[in-house]
Amino acid sequence: MMTQTNIVVAFYKPYGVLSAFTDPEGRPTLKNYISLPDIYPVGRLDFDSEGLLLLTNDGGLIHRLTHPQHHVPKTYLVQVEGVISPEAVAALQRGVVIKGRRTRRCQVVVIPEPSLPPRERPVTPHGPTSWLRIVLFEGMKRQIRHMTAAVGYPTLRIVRIAIGPINLEGLLPGQWRFLSPLEIERLQETSRR
């Protein structure tokens, strides 16, 4: 249960930032952007992925949002190499085998190129690309990259745009904001399903 001292922050993680507050290798971290004490990321985004990262000091909420039994949807915009086939999209939707385990069913739709902020290091494809909107209900390490590679379309760019009912609206890369009490309530409801 959230108390007055619990907070939740929505952060637009830029490309090339670690989803942690410290790094022995000296790479950019969350500390470069957020100076609030005692908050922790809800899950992770890879160093080379971008988009929505939630942070909170509520351990129970972190558990509910990251545990696969709660099926909290996470929505991504994904650029892949090549013109993706309907068969590959169908395979992604059904689930593909990664490291001996089949991924859960997910939602995958081919979309027009979205309007996104430019990345510090631009993507340089070797040919045509496709954009997908993927909604996952689990979170294996580097799952999207492994999934698209398994069907023959390497991932070039990943931007997470939503976790449950919370999205990136109003944020640019490197910006963060506190969630409102209503947003926190909606997030809690989603994580209890």
Q: Which residue has the higher pLDDT, 156 or 192?
A: 156
Using an 8 Å Cβ cutoff, are 137 and 71 in contact? Answer: yes
Q: Which residue has the higher pLDDT, 2 or 173?
A: 173
| Average of per-residue pLDDT values in the chain | 92
Look at residue 193 in the predicted model and tell me its pLDDT. Answer: 67
% of the chain surpassing 90 pLDDT:
75
175: pLDDT strictly greater than 90: yes
Look at residue 138 in the predicted model and tell me its pLDDT. Answer: 86
29: pLDDT strictly greater than 60: yes
E strands within 27-73?
40-41, 50-56
Q: Which residue has the higher pLDDT, 12 or 68?
A: 12
Q: Which distant-in-sequence residues (6+ apart) come within 8 Å of 108 by Cβ? A: 89, 92, 93, 132, 133, 134, 135
3: pLDDT strictly greater than 70: no
Among residues 23, 46, 48, 58, the one annotated as catalytic is 46
User: Which has the closest alpha carbon to 17: 8, 4, 26, 9?
Assistant: 26
Buried/exposed 154-174: b ≥16 CB within 10 Å, e otherwise: ebbbbbbbbbbebebeebebe
49-64: average pLDDT: 92
Active-site residue 46, yes or no? yes
101-114: average pLDDT: 96
pTM above 0.95, yes or no: no
Look at residue 68 in the predicted model and tell me its pLDDT. Answer: 72
141: pLDDT strictly greater than 90: no
pLDDT in tens, 79-90: 999 999 999 999
Which one-letter DSSP state was computed for residue 31? G
Using an 8 Å Cβ cutoff, are 111 and 77 in contact? Answer: yes
